[in-house]
Structure 1
Amino acid sequence: MLDLYDYPIVVEIPVAWGEMDYFHHVNNTVYFRYFESARVKYVEAIKIEEYMAKTGMGPILGSTSAKFLAPLKYPDTISVGIKSVKLDSGRIVQEYGVWSHETSRLVAKGESTMVFFDYKKGRPCDIPEGLRENILKLEPYLADTTKAKETA
C-alpha cells in the first residue's frame, strides 16, 4: 500500500467547489492539475530552472496517466505525493499518490514521464550531470537502479 512517507515531495491542495462535475465529485481532468502542482514542486526542489537558464535543456511531459480509486468531493483537502521510480539517461518516470484528508484514503494514483529536451536544438537530450546529481540527492535510491542499468 502506498504511503505519504514514500514520497520525497508532498503538496497539500484544497479541493475547490468548482472542480466538481455533474456527478458531484471532482472531475477526472482535475487530477492532472493536482499532479502538475506536485511536479512543479519537484522540479523546484531539484533546481531545473537553473539548468534550463544555463543550458537550454529541460523537461517536457512525454506522457501521463491516472487511476481513480475513490470519488473526491468538496469540501476536502488532499495531499499529493510525487516520487521518481525510474531514472534513465534522458527521462524520469514518476509516480503520484492522491490522499483525501476527509476520508483518510488514497483516492487516485498516477504516473508520468518527463523527457529531457534540448530546446535550442529541438530534440531530446540526456539529463545534464549536475541536474542528475540534484535528483539523486533528493532520491538517493535511484542511484541503485541507474548503476544496475549501466552494468547490464
Structure 2
Amino acid sequence: MSDPSVDERPMPRLRGDYRRFAPIATRWMDNDVYGHVNNAVYYSYFDTAVNRYLIEAGALDLQATHGVIGLVVQTQCRYFAPLAFPQTIEAGLRVARLGRSSVRYEVGLFAAGAASSAAHGHFVHVYVDRATRRPVELPPTLKSALQGLL
C-alpha cells in the first residue's frame, strides 16, 4: 500500500487562499551560497508574518512578562520557486484551525505581485501559561483577532 502523502504532489497556493498580506523585505544574509533564500529562513518569515499580525491586532504584547504565551509545536514548509535578496516577499496569512488552546496558522510566501506561492506552510501555536507551561484557553483578545483570519 502506498503512502498518500508521497503520491499527491503538492501544488503552490493562490493569493485568494489567504485572508491578509504583509510585505517582508529579504536581507543580504537570507541568501545562501546557491544565490537564493536558504530554506531555514522561510520559517523566520512565517514567524514574522504571524507575529506582525498579532501585534497589529493587539493580541500580542511584547512587553508582557506574565500571562499566556504561544509556543510553536509543529511547522512545515513546501517550496516551489526560489526567492532571493533583494526582493520583497508578500506573506499571505490565514487560520486553518482554531482550537481551545491552539491555532494552526497557514502562510504563503509570494514574490511581489506573483499569483502563486513560491512556498507555503504552516505552524501550530499552543497557548500556555507562561509560568507553568500548561495549555490554557485562548484569551478573548487573541480569539477575536484570529476570527478574522478564518
Name the TM tier (shorter chain). Answer: 0.7 to 0.9
SS of residue matched to 1:121: coil
Q: State the partner residue of 1:108.
A: 119
Cα 1:53/1:41, change in 2 over 3 Å = same
Structure 1 segment 137-152 matched on structure 2, within 5 A: 138-139=148-149, 142=150
Report the TM-score, using the length of structure 2 for normalisation.
Answer: 0.78
Structure 2: which 5+ runs fail to align? 1-11
Does the aligned pair in 2 maintain the 1:67–1:110 contact within 8 Å?
yes
Q: Deviation digits for residues 108-144 of structure 1, max 9, x if unmatched?
A: 00100010101133211111234323322x23xx4xx
Is 2:89 aligned against 1:72? no
Is 2:132 aligned against 1:121? yes
Structure 1: which 5+ runs fail to align? 143-152
Q: State the partner residue of 2:53.
A: 42
SS of residue matched to 1:124: coil
Q: Deviation digits for residues 34-74 of structure 1, max 9, x if unmatched?
A: 11110112211442236x95971131111111111111122
Displacement of 1:12 after TM fit?
Answer: 0.8
1:60 to 61, 71, 74: 71
Q: State the partner residue of 2:5.
A: none
| Alpha-carbon separation, structure 2, partners of 1:110 and 1:19 | 18
Q: State the partner residue of 2:23.
A: 12
CA-atom RMSD in angstroms: 2.4
Is 2:108 aligned against 1:94? no
Q: Deviation digits for residues 76-132 of structure 1, max 9, x if unmatched?
A: 211011110100111001100000127664210010001010113321111123432
| Alpha-carbon separation, structure 2, partners of 1:116 and 1:40 | 14
Cα 1:95/1:103, change in 2 over 3 Å = closer
| Alpha-carbon separation, structure 2, partners of 1:103 and 1:43 | 25
Does the aligned pair in 1 maintain the 2:54–2:145 contact within 8 Å?
no
Report the TM-score, using the length of structure 1 for normalisation.
Answer: 0.77
